[in-house]
Chains A and B, each alone.
Chain A
Amino acid sequence: MLEILIYGAVSSAIYAMLAVGFTLIFGVARILNLAHGAFYALGAYAAYAFTSLLHWPLFIAAPLAVLLVALFGVLMERFLVRPLRYSQLAVLMITLSVSLAVEQGLFITFGSEYRNVPSFVADKISIGGVDIGGQRLLTLIAGVLVLLLLWLFIQRTRLGAAILAVSQDPEAAQYMGIPTNRIFSVVMAISAGTAALAGVLVSPFLTVQPTMGLLPMVKAFAIVIVGGLGSIPGSILAALLLGYSETIVAYLISSSWTELVSLVAVVITLMIKPSGLLGRRAAF
């Protein structure tokens, strides 16, 4: 029972980190970023390259990986997405092609084999009789901290207020003197950075390979649909729901059925409440 509680919390934290970035960039900039999974994979591969290949100390490697991916995201938004924002299809196409290009790039540079990244925390920690790898616990703590910081940033700072304003009405925000384009860049950096952080944190205990980004992105999308497109509290709630239901399904039935959980969740949400749990707008 405690096992489910702890492992469910860990996967929820990973999903929440991914989904919050996905929903943030959609809510603020209306960009459906299909390259979000690529950011996650890039983060994991950067961690692999810096620690396993270059043997840099962790406290440099991890932040640098996150920063580099955030920069990549900002450049992508500025030079590839922004010129095509007139059409939603073009944005979907360009982000999808970036994601394919990244996947192929990783495949060409690192090959298709699974890569191992050394654990940041090697010890196992026992909580109430349940052994849990230190790395998973670190992921959980870091995930909660990041989400908390993000929430404080958006609710308490001027920049956060500007982000909220743009998400409510980009034109009105622009008239009030908020530089919307710069806000898009900031949000893209946050979004890519959190996805990369998730990738860095999970790299020691999940498989690192070029296509690793696709399924988490599909999950992030499922969470965002269930939580309500554009709503951050909604996606955190949905991440908890999905993370726990997957863990429960894995324990009670079989781990091969977990993939179905997100699909079923999406279908049920779309049929019963298409705007999602905490969606602000109705979807139709």
Chain B
Amino acid sequence: MNPLCTPRDHTFSRRAFLGGGLGLLASPLFAEAMKQRDKQVLFVWLDGGMSQLETWDPKPNTEFGGPFRSIPTSVPGIHFGELMPKLAKQMHKLCVVRSMCTKDNAHSSGVDRIQRGDPKNRGVPYPHFGAGVAKLLGPGTSGLPPYVWIKPGSGGFRAEDAGFLGPKYGSLAFGDGKPPDNLLRHPDISAEQDTARNELRQMLDQRFAKQREKRVVEANASVFDMAEKLMARADIFDTSKLPERDRDRYGRHDLGQHMLVARQMLEAGVRFVKVTSYGWDTHGDHFNSQTTMVPKFDQAFSAILEDLEASGLLKTTLVICLSEFGRTPRINGHVGRDHWPEAWSIAMAGHGVKHGMVVGETDERGTEVKSQPFDIGAAFHTWYQALGIDSHKVEFDNAGQPLPIAHDDMLPIKEALA
């Protein structure tokens, strides 16, 4: 049996993954995946479109530069917008690509398009990056769900993120940082009772497995095991028990507290953690809103970078921060900036990417990319390769049809790869 075969009928069983001796491990792709099992991803999504001009790629004192100054960073010669003083001190950890040039300027389609890597149209929905990583690298040794999404608003199981990979690679969304339905033990059931009856269930299953198809019992066992693991780590989304100092340091706002939950998840071993912040679509009164929004981001993102470095996790974690596009250099009649996929920036850090590096540049007014422009497909190649996945060789399997994991005509951003 091909381990990377069709999503509909094949189970990426954790047991199969770790148990050995099942024949699955013979595949070189699987062996490769085994080596990768400790790599993690933090994916920060600033929904609506962050302005590159007030953050990663400032153009002070130019026609479209806006009212803010730029400030030097920890890397000589590189400047950020003045609203990001904390991140400026951490530029030596970052890799900023200022030459993104993508294709969609609508939110409704752009959000999906960017997160799916905008591959060639094969008539099937592609997985989001998180689902792709969950499929290719699996849940890892933690046994926790591989793709977790921390976001304001509602939570739940988001199957649509997985596209053709099938619902099991969708995200588990923690709405407002809260756990999914039924995560906590029922109040009428004591801890001992809960453990005892669950052990009884396992015993009954083991007995049944002797007479029946093992695969069926294993499929059931693996989801109960995952539930068990998640219940045991119910603390990882609970920020109330964290030191006050951490909560202050990350910021007492959604993005800050959610980033702190993300740190907990990464420490607990979740493979892919996405954090979303909404409200970056500033068509009007842009500059006033930047003075409140960007510092919150600066605080939360710099805090997690510091902590990941201190705990050593930054060595194995790829950190990515982006939006569906940037914002127009031209300032509109409502003192706002509109959608601008033509020239914008993404930031990366951690495993597999260069540190203290800026790739590419925009022209003086920030309207166009002056160096080689990169589409999101190039970024996907970069990220997969940073995670040790050969994005030109490894393929997804769409019910028997092999499909490239990133746009087949594009190449990684070589300058960014460590």
- Are A and B co-members of a single complex? no
